[in-house]
Structure 1
Amino acid sequence: MPERPEIVCICGSTRFTDEMRAANRDLTFAGVIVVAPGEADEVVTPEQKAVLDDLHLRKIDLADRVLVVNPGGYVGESTSREIAYARTTGTPVTYTDPV
Protein backbone atom coordinates (compact mmCIF):
# COMPACT_ATOMS: atom_id res chain seq x y z
CA MET A 1 0.00 0.00 0.00
CA PRO A 2 1.48 3.40 -0.96
CA GLU A 3 2.40 5.93 1.70
CA ARG A 4 -0.22 8.60 2.42
CA PRO A 5 0.47 11.84 0.54
CA GLU A 6 1.45 14.91 2.53
CA ILE A 7 -1.47 17.12 3.58
CA VAL A 8 -0.82 20.87 3.31
CA CYS A 9 -3.14 23.58 4.59
CA ILE A 10 -2.85 26.83 2.67
CA CYS A 11 -3.15 30.04 4.69
CA GLY A 12 -3.03 33.63 3.50
CA SER A 13 -4.88 36.87 3.02
CA THR A 14 -7.98 36.80 0.84
CA ARG A 15 -6.28 39.50 -1.26
CA PHE A 16 -4.03 36.69 -2.53
CA THR A 17 -6.79 34.41 -3.81
CA ASP A 18 -5.14 33.99 -7.22
CA GLU A 19 -1.80 33.13 -5.62
CA MET A 20 -3.45 30.64 -3.24
CA ARG A 21 -5.22 28.98 -6.19
CA ALA A 22 -1.89 28.70 -8.02
CA ALA A 23 -0.24 27.16 -4.93
CA ASN A 24 -3.17 24.74 -4.63
CA ARG A 25 -2.77 23.72 -8.26
CA ASP A 26 1.02 23.31 -8.03
CA LEU A 27 0.83 21.27 -4.83
CA THR A 28 -1.96 19.08 -6.18
CA PHE A 29 0.03 18.28 -9.33
CA ALA A 30 2.97 17.44 -7.06
CA GLY A 31 0.83 14.78 -5.38
CA VAL A 32 -0.04 16.72 -2.23
CA ILE A 33 -3.47 16.74 -0.60
CA VAL A 34 -4.40 20.42 -0.26
CA VAL A 35 -6.73 21.92 2.32
CA ALA A 36 -7.50 25.52 1.40
CA PRO A 37 -9.48 28.45 2.78
CA GLY A 38 -13.14 28.68 1.85
CA GLU A 39 -14.11 31.23 -0.77
CA ALA A 40 -17.18 33.47 -1.03
CA ASP A 41 -18.44 35.55 -3.93
CA GLU A 42 -20.41 37.85 -1.65
CA VAL A 43 -19.67 39.92 1.44
CA VAL A 44 -19.13 37.72 4.47
CA THR A 45 -20.90 38.70 7.69
CA PRO A 46 -18.94 38.91 10.95
CA GLU A 47 -20.74 35.75 12.12
CA GLN A 48 -19.80 33.89 8.94
CA LYS A 49 -16.20 35.10 9.27
CA ALA A 50 -16.04 33.70 12.82
CA VAL A 51 -17.29 30.32 11.58
CA LEU A 52 -14.82 30.32 8.68
CA ASP A 53 -11.93 31.29 10.98
CA ASP A 54 -12.71 28.43 13.37
CA LEU A 55 -13.17 25.98 10.49
CA HIS A 56 -9.77 26.95 9.10
CA LEU A 57 -8.14 26.08 12.44
CA ARG A 58 -9.72 22.63 12.18
CA LYS A 59 -8.21 22.36 8.68
CA ILE A 60 -4.80 23.13 10.19
CA ASP A 61 -5.43 20.26 12.63
CA LEU A 62 -5.68 17.91 9.62
CA ALA A 63 -2.48 19.12 7.98
CA ASP A 64 1.07 17.84 8.09
CA ARG A 65 2.28 21.33 7.18
CA VAL A 66 0.95 24.86 6.70
CA LEU A 67 1.95 26.85 3.63
CA VAL A 68 1.53 30.59 4.08
CA VAL A 69 1.00 32.37 0.76
CA ASN A 70 2.53 35.76 1.48
CA PRO A 71 3.59 37.69 -1.64
CA GLY A 72 5.98 40.47 -0.71
CA GLY A 73 6.18 39.05 2.82
CA TYR A 74 2.70 40.28 3.79
CA VAL A 75 1.03 38.43 6.68
CA GLY A 76 -2.23 39.87 7.99
CA GLU A 77 -3.94 39.56 11.34
CA SER A 78 -6.00 36.44 10.61
CA THR A 79 -3.07 34.67 8.99
CA SER A 80 -0.86 35.59 11.96
CA ARG A 81 -3.40 33.90 14.26
CA GLU A 82 -3.39 30.80 12.06
CA ILE A 83 0.43 30.68 12.11
CA ALA A 84 0.45 31.01 15.90
CA TYR A 85 -2.14 28.24 16.18
CA ALA A 86 -0.16 25.93 13.89
CA ARG A 87 2.98 26.51 15.93
CA THR A 88 1.19 25.73 19.21
CA THR A 89 0.01 22.41 17.73
CA GLY A 90 3.49 21.59 16.41
CA THR A 91 2.47 21.86 12.76
CA PRO A 92 5.41 23.07 10.64
CA VAL A 93 4.91 26.39 8.84
CA THR A 94 6.52 27.35 5.53
CA TYR A 95 6.15 30.50 3.43
CA THR A 96 6.07 31.31 -0.27
CA ASP A 97 8.04 34.53 0.32
CA PRO A 98 10.51 35.61 3.01
CA VAL A 99 8.82 37.08 6.07
Structure 2
Amino acid sequence: METGRPRVVCLCGSMRLRELFESERRRLTAESVIVLAPEPVDVEPTASMREALGALHLRRIDLADEVRVLSRGGVLGEATRREIAYARERNKPVTFLEPTLDM
Protein backbone atom coordinates (compact mmCIF):
# COMPACT_ATOMS: atom_id res chain seq x y z
CA MET A 1 0.00 0.00 0.00
CA GLU A 2 1.22 3.47 -0.82
CA THR A 3 2.24 5.61 2.10
CA GLY A 4 0.41 8.85 2.58
CA ARG A 5 -2.97 7.64 1.37
CA PRO A 6 -5.77 6.23 3.46
CA ARG A 7 -6.46 2.52 3.50
CA VAL A 8 -9.43 1.44 1.35
CA VAL A 9 -11.69 -1.30 2.69
CA CYS A 10 -14.51 -2.95 0.76
CA LEU A 11 -17.35 -4.36 2.85
CA CYS A 12 -18.96 -7.60 1.70
CA GLY A 13 -21.92 -9.51 3.04
CA SER A 14 -25.66 -9.80 2.82
CA MET A 15 -27.52 -6.56 2.20
CA ARG A 16 -30.04 -7.79 4.78
CA LEU A 17 -27.45 -6.68 7.34
CA ARG A 18 -27.85 -2.95 6.63
CA GLU A 19 -27.37 -1.92 10.28
CA LEU A 20 -24.15 -3.91 10.47
CA PHE A 21 -22.88 -2.32 7.24
CA GLU A 22 -23.65 1.17 8.58
CA SER A 23 -22.04 0.45 11.94
CA GLU A 24 -18.83 -0.88 10.35
CA ARG A 25 -18.78 1.99 7.83
CA ARG A 26 -18.98 4.55 10.66
CA ARG A 27 -16.34 2.74 12.72
CA LEU A 28 -13.87 2.50 9.84
CA THR A 29 -14.52 6.07 8.70
CA ALA A 30 -13.67 7.27 12.23
CA GLU A 31 -10.32 5.49 11.75
CA SER A 32 -9.73 7.52 8.52
CA VAL A 33 -10.42 4.52 6.27
CA ILE A 34 -12.11 4.93 2.88
CA VAL A 35 -15.04 2.52 2.85
CA LEU A 36 -16.52 0.97 -0.29
CA ALA A 37 -19.75 -0.97 0.09
CA PRO A 38 -22.84 -1.94 -1.86
CA GLU A 39 -25.75 0.44 -1.54
CA PRO A 40 -29.33 -0.71 -1.18
CA VAL A 41 -31.60 -0.04 -4.15
CA ASP A 42 -35.20 1.12 -3.84
CA VAL A 43 -36.64 -1.43 -6.25
CA GLU A 44 -36.69 -5.21 -6.34
CA PRO A 45 -33.73 -5.94 -8.63
CA THR A 46 -34.31 -7.96 -11.77
CA ALA A 47 -31.93 -10.79 -12.62
CA SER A 48 -29.97 -8.57 -15.02
CA MET A 49 -29.83 -5.74 -12.48
CA ARG A 50 -28.61 -8.17 -9.81
CA GLU A 51 -25.89 -9.35 -12.21
CA ALA A 52 -24.84 -5.75 -12.98
CA LEU A 53 -24.75 -4.85 -9.28
CA GLY A 54 -22.65 -7.94 -8.59
CA ALA A 55 -20.16 -6.91 -11.29
CA LEU A 56 -20.06 -3.39 -9.86
CA HIS A 57 -19.21 -4.81 -6.46
CA LEU A 58 -16.30 -6.77 -7.93
CA ARG A 59 -14.91 -3.45 -9.18
CA ARG A 60 -15.10 -2.15 -5.60
CA ILE A 61 -13.05 -5.16 -4.54
CA ASP A 62 -10.52 -4.33 -7.28
CA LEU A 63 -10.11 -0.82 -5.79
CA ALA A 64 -9.77 -2.00 -2.19
CA ASP A 65 -6.67 -2.69 -0.14
CA GLU A 66 -8.66 -5.09 2.05
CA VAL A 67 -12.00 -6.90 1.95
CA ARG A 68 -13.96 -7.02 5.22
CA VAL A 69 -16.67 -9.67 5.42
CA LEU A 70 -19.72 -8.92 7.54
CA SER A 71 -21.98 -11.69 8.75
CA ARG A 72 -24.27 -12.50 11.61
CA GLY A 73 -23.98 -15.92 13.17
CA GLY A 74 -21.05 -16.75 10.89
CA VAL A 75 -23.31 -17.64 7.96
CA LEU A 76 -22.23 -16.56 4.45
CA GLY A 77 -24.34 -16.60 1.32
CA GLU A 78 -23.26 -17.85 -2.07
CA ALA A 79 -22.62 -14.34 -3.46
CA THR A 80 -20.43 -13.40 -0.48
CA ARG A 81 -18.42 -16.61 -0.87
CA ARG A 82 -17.87 -15.76 -4.56
CA GLU A 83 -16.68 -12.26 -3.57
CA ILE A 84 -14.25 -13.75 -1.04
CA ALA A 85 -12.86 -16.12 -3.70
CA TYR A 86 -12.56 -13.22 -6.17
CA ALA A 87 -10.66 -11.12 -3.60
CA ARG A 88 -8.32 -13.98 -2.70
CA GLU A 89 -7.60 -14.69 -6.39
CA ARG A 90 -6.41 -11.07 -6.58
CA ASN A 91 -4.31 -11.39 -3.42
CA LYS A 92 -6.51 -9.01 -1.44
CA PRO A 93 -6.41 -9.52 2.32
CA VAL A 94 -9.79 -10.80 3.52
CA THR A 95 -10.80 -10.16 7.12
CA PHE A 96 -13.94 -11.22 8.92
CA LEU A 97 -15.93 -9.21 11.44
CA GLU A 98 -16.77 -12.48 13.18
CA PRO A 99 -15.71 -16.11 12.71
CA THR A 100 -17.56 -17.86 9.91
CA LEU A 101 -19.10 -21.29 10.00
CA ASP A 102 -18.38 -22.30 6.44
CA MET A 103 -15.00 -20.90 5.37
TM-score, with structure 1 as normaliser? 0.95
- Answering whether residue 75 of structure 2 is matched by residue 74 of structure 1, we say yes
Listed as ranges, the gaps of 5+ residues in structure 1 are none
Greater helix share, 1 or 2? Answer: 1
The AA in structure 1 aligned to 2:8 is I
Question: Which stretches in structure 2 are left out of the alignment for 5+ residues?
Answer: none
Q: Root-mean-square deviation (CA), in Å? A: 1.0
Deviates more, 1:36-45 or 1:52-61: 36-45
In the other structure, the counterpart of 1:44 is: 45
Please give the residue correspondences for 1:18-33 in structure 2 after superposition, counting only pairs within 5 Å.
Answer: 18-33=19-34
Number of residue pairs matched by the alignment = 98
- Residue 21 of structure 2 aligns with an amino acid whose one-letter code is M
Aligned to 2:4: 3
Please list every run of at least 4 consecutive aligned residues from structure 1 whose deviation after the TM superposition is greater than 3 angstroms: none
Instruction: Give the CA deviation at 1:44.
Output: 0.8
Q: TM-score, normalised by structure 2?
A: 0.91
Query: For 2:83, what is the secondary structure of its paired residue?
Result: helix
Output one character per residue of 1:56-83: Cα deviation in whole Å (capped at 9) or x when no partner: 0010000000000111101101000000
CA contact (8 A) 1:38 1:52 kept: no
Per-residue CA distance 1:25-73 (angstroms, 9 max, x = gap)? 1101110000011211221111110000001001000000000011110
Structure 1 SS opposite 2:9 = strand
In structure 2, distance between residues paired with 1:9 and 1:81: 14
Letter in 2 for 1:63: A
